[in-house]
Amino acid sequence: MLPAGKITEATIEALAKLMQPGDVIIDGGNTFWQDDVRRGKALRERGLHYVDVGTSGGIWGIERGYCMMIGGDKPVVDRLDPIFKALAPGIGDIPRTSGRDGRDPRIEQGYIHAGPVGAGHFVKMIHNGIEYGLMQAYAEGFDILKNANIEALPADHRFDLDIADIAEVWRRGSVIPSWLLDLTASALAQNHTLDTYSGFVEDSGEGRWTVNAAVDEAVPAEVLTAALYTRFRSRKDHTFAEKILSAMRAGFGGHKEPPKKA
């Protein structure tokens, strides 16, 4: 399986030259699904097969297991089934969902043949888009908790909250437990101010592609997009947009900029 990007492209080209008709290339990286579609078509013309596999589970995948989202022609994916079955996490101790009797048994093993070439990475892309939104929802909630004690609030409306404990208690019977909350509770238990982090947040391609897909489909995706934009903003001192605002305010109101606040 291969990493994403130009190296992938070159490697695929190099591999293709060495392969024989009927051989299969599996791209298990974070490839843009439209590149899969293009490549799959090009390789098919040369008698070669292409299968895209999005995997999720992070660095804990080996321990926790990781699910696979697969795109490719049915006979090819079926042929490779032993590989996917061996890699899949298996049903483990995750409770079964009722109403799934008679459905594709591979799903509960932790892998899915989502559709033709590209579908695997498409589904993985949306997984990551959702992940951004979930992360941002928690992050904003904890931010409001953290700022519940600021001086701008009336004295009897301020709370000095222990957010490490709050994160932990929400793991125990609330409506919002998740693995992401587990990770947050763990990070806060070790350092409740998170002052070892600066707050510069990278984004991978998937978050951007998810927004592109939403736009292409005319699906309103406010939350997934806002989550992406927050990351963009986190990497700047100030945007040019903010300077425009300041310039306008100086123009119509003679407003001067305030000193920087923490």
Site for a copy of itself in 123-152 (CB under 8 A): 123, 126-148, 150, 152
Out of 35, 77, 170, 206, the only residue in the binding site for a copy of itself (CB under 8 A) is 170
Task: Identify whether 108 is a catalytic site residue.
Answer: no
Query: In 3D, which of 71, 50, 54 has the Cα closest to residue 114?
Result: 71
192-231 residues in contact with a copy of itself (CB under 8 A) are 194-195, 197-203, 208, 210-231
Token reading at 40:
């799959």
Answer yes or no whether residue 2 interacts with a copy of itself by CB under 8 A.
no
Answer yes or no whether residue 23 interacts with a copy of itself by CB under 8 A.
no
Residue of 131, 151, 217, 261 marked active site: 131
Crossing angle between the packed helical segments 179-190 and 163-170, to the nearest 10 degrees = 150
CA distance 246 to 23: 60
- φ, ψ for residue 94 (rounded to 5)? -75, 125
CA distance 255 to 250: 5
The residue (of 20 and 151) whose beta carbon lies closer to a copy of itself is 151
171-190 residues in contact with a copy of itself (CB under 8 A) are 171-190
Task: Identify whether 131 is a catalytic site residue.
Answer: yes
How far are the Cα atoms of 31, 92, 93, 138, 181 from residue 175, in angstroms, in the given order?
A: 34, 23, 20, 13, 11
> Count of residues binding a copy of itself (CB under 8 A)?
158
Out of 48, 67, 77, 80, the only residue in the binding site for a copy of itself (CB under 8 A) is 67
The residue (of 18 and 254) whose beta carbon lies closer to a copy of itself is 254
Query: In 3D, which of 29, 34, 41 has the Cα closest to residue 5?
Result: 29
Answer yes or no whether residue 13 interacts with a copy of itself by CB under 8 A.
no
